[in-house]
Amino acid sequence: MLILLFSILTIAATILFAYLWYLNLKSAGELCLLNAQGRHIPSFREDLRSLLDSRFHITLLAAPMISLVAFTVLPIVFMVLIAFTNFDSNHQPPGELFTWTGLTNVTDIFLGNQTKTHTFFGIFGWTIVWAILATFTNYILGMLLAILINHKLVKLKKMWRTLFVISIAIPQFVSLLLISRALEPMGAINIALMKLGWITAPLPFLTDKTLARICVVVINMWIGIPYTMLTLSGVLMNIPSDLYESAELDGAGPFRRFTNITLPYMIFVTAPATITTFVGNINNFNVIYLLTRGGPFALDYYQAGKTDLLVTWLYKLTVDQHDYALASTIGIFIFMIVSTLSITVYNRTSAVKKEDMFQ
């Protein structure tokens, strides 16, 4: 691992020195041109002074760019290279060093290992279904809640907003851990239902595959809808009232005003944020791991459970199984999926196509 790390640092340093050498040659050529034209050649002190004046933007951006390369780009390169090795629990120093294995991890996921293939495509399918449900249930229900609270016939609007905000005032991980304990076979919910006589045996909220998936979607709605409600309330309050007045004079009813004014306006404004939310739900580690820890676990899956997302499976492979090579391979696929979806969908939204305008 150290050999690979030092090799990456060496290559990065070599690229840096090559770039500085190129800048040196370019600067020398510009100075030769200035000399040939008989113009003033800046001294070293004048160049330094320009970094605080005409080229001050370079001075400001230098530290962030160095940090970006050191703490983001180089670790990503390291992770990508790990995917082409056999770095796992059986290949770690000082017992045995890992070696290059080429595309073995990729072929194991798609062709070579039946269990890993079944696990990857099963978790990938659930990840997409989860991201769609988690995003659009919160968006649609949050929109309806915001419209309801902002309706002119509803009184005490500030009180209703405050009541919903209280549910997100508690840190998310605290709420999720408490709900997870309450949904256990002998948790508060099952005990209450049995004492009321509604059930005779504990319901498998977290041990049944279908019920566990329904629970994580519903609990995510309880956590996420207030955020959406607050965001869309701000959008609703900024829609010009003369649009509604003109539509009402033209004979448009409430449904027509909603479909022709409210909904297009909200989608236009919130489309980029919705895409960000969708991508965040693909990598939504907290809700899944803190509620179910990926369970219920299955023998037909490789070190994963039926509610695991790709990101939680990656975490288990890294922390619990020390299978860094396979985890790095999954990380590459997550990046490819997220980046492709984000770029494709974002460039097709009205917020990009009709920038600085609304129709």
Predicted local distance difference test score (pLDDT) of residue 352: 64
pTM of the model: 0.86
Q: Per 3-state DSSP, what percentage of the chain is helix, strand, and coil (rounded to 5)? A: 70, 0, 25
**What is the distance between the alpha carbons of residues 18 and 24, in angstroms, rounded to a whole number?**
10
**What is the distance between the alpha carbons of residues 45 and 210, in angstroms, rounded to a whole number?**
70
pLDDT digits (tens, 9 = 90+) for 298-356: 889 999 999 999 999 999 999 999 999 999 999 999 999 888 888 888 777 766 666 65
**What is the distance between the alpha carbons of residues 80 and 105, in angstroms, rounded to a whole number?**
12
- The answer to whether 317 touches 323, Cβ cutoff 8 Å, is yes
Predicted local distance difference test score (pLDDT) of residue 353: 63
DSSP secondary structure code for residue 170 in this structure: S
Across the chain, which has 359 residues, the per-10-residue mean pLDDT values are: 91 95 93 90 88 89 92 92 92 85 90 89 95 94 89 84 82 89 93 93 93 94 88 84 84 85 85 88 93 90 94 94 93 90 79 59
Pair of tokens at residue 76: 């990503």
CA angle 131–136–142, rounded 5-degree value: 130
Query: Going by C-beta distance under 8 Å and a sequence separation of 6 or more, which residues neighbour residue 270?
Result: 139, 231, 232, 235
- The answer to whether 265 touches 235, Cβ cutoff 8 Å, is yes
Residues of the chain with CATH 1.10.3720.10: 113-353
CATH architecture of 113-353: Orthogonal Bundle (1.10)
**What is the distance between the alpha carbons of residues 198 and 190, in angstroms, rounded to a whole number?**
10
